[in-house]
Amino acid sequence: MSGCLTIVGLGPGDTRWLTPAASEALAQATDLVGYGPYLVRAPERPGQRRHPSDNRVELDRARYALELAADGARVAVVSGGDPGVFAMAAAVFEAVESGDPAWRSLDIRVEPGVTAMFAAAARVGAPLGGDFCAISLSDNLKPWEVVEARLKAALSADFAIALYNPISSARPWQLGAALSLVREVRDPDTPVVLARAVGRPDERITVRSLSEVEPSQADMSTLLIIGASTTRLIERDEGRGPYVYTPRSYGVRS
């Protein structure tokens, strides 16, 4: 039997956010490949083989999954959130492009998942209701100058901005540098959403003004949403956080 490979988005945490199509792809796989903590989120199936790996070996993991599929396995590569957003789908295609030409004949599919920025946005209202963009602050695979140029362009275009990979022990200063750039352009009262571990038991969502945000309030499980100039708060009763939303209209006079 010929093998196949599906890169499956598990969503950010809550298993109810796993799509039925993603569940089906997991159930049909003979082999599951992925970062260990993500693999444990896939339901156990008798006879299914699991191949956990470390977090920072995406290309090796992708090549291993392709080899398994080329040997006839039905492989599911699991990925947190959506596999196409700073994740395993691109790693698999990078491996295909530079790898064994036979891999190009494999049936390779991508099953989408809920990405962290949509789960985070949904928790607070609709901060991504107007135009927005997503930027990874990781400079592991691109120079920091590129991150900076993209952030400046997004700021000058007045996008709401989702920041993935804001900080880690190996990348301690990048979020502070990014916030300095944001503060040069955006109002100190701009709403900023800090969404940590959305959909997991240790979820923590806070809404602060730009002037109050500190890098120490984020970790590698945090996603930030920086509001655009039109992003605003709707205050609620004491003890309940505000709604955060960005209207669909921009500069339209009534």
Binding interface with ligand SAM (CB under 6 A) = 12-13, 79-82, 85-87, 115-116, 120, 164-166, 195-200, 220-223
CB of 114 to ligand SAM, least distance (A): 8
CB of 209 to ligand SAM, least distance (A): 20
User: Quick one: three-class SS letters along 94-106?
Assistant: HHHHHCCHHHHHC
Distance CA 96, CA 176 (A): 36
Decide whether 82 or 111 has the Cβ nearer to ligand SAM.
82
Nearest C-alpha neighbor of 223 from the set 28, 39, 81, 106: 81
Nearest C-alpha neighbor of 114 from the set 88, 138, 79, 90: 79
Decide whether 2 or 140 has the Cβ nearer to ligand SAM.
140
Q: Are 196 and 219 in contact (CB under 8 A)?
A: yes
CB of 32 to ligand SAM, least distance (A): 17
What is the sign of the dihedral through the CA atoms of 205, 117, 223 and 57?
Answer: positive
CB of 47 to ligand SAM, least distance (A): 28
Decide whether 79 or 217 has the Cβ nearer to ligand SAM.
79
By DSSP bridging, strand 243-245 and strand 125-126 are parallel
Decide whether 73 or 154 has the Cβ nearer to ligand SAM.
154
CB of 40 to ligand SAM, least distance (A): 15
Residue 25: CA atoms inside 13 Å, Cβ hemisphere, count?
A: 25
Q: Are 97 and 59 in contact (CB under 8 A)?
A: no
Nearest C-alpha neighbor of 228 from the set 196, 194, 187: 187
Decide whether 88 or 155 has the Cβ nearer to ligand SAM.
88
* Position closest to ligand SAM via CB: 81
Decide whether 168 or 209 has the Cβ nearer to ligand SAM.
168
By DSSP bridging, strand 191-196 and strand 222-226 are antiparallel
Angle between helices 58-70 and 88-98 (to 10 degrees): 70
CB of 119 to ligand SAM, least distance (A): 6
CB of 194 to ligand SAM, least distance (A): 9
Decide whether 2 or 15 has the Cβ nearer to ligand SAM.
15
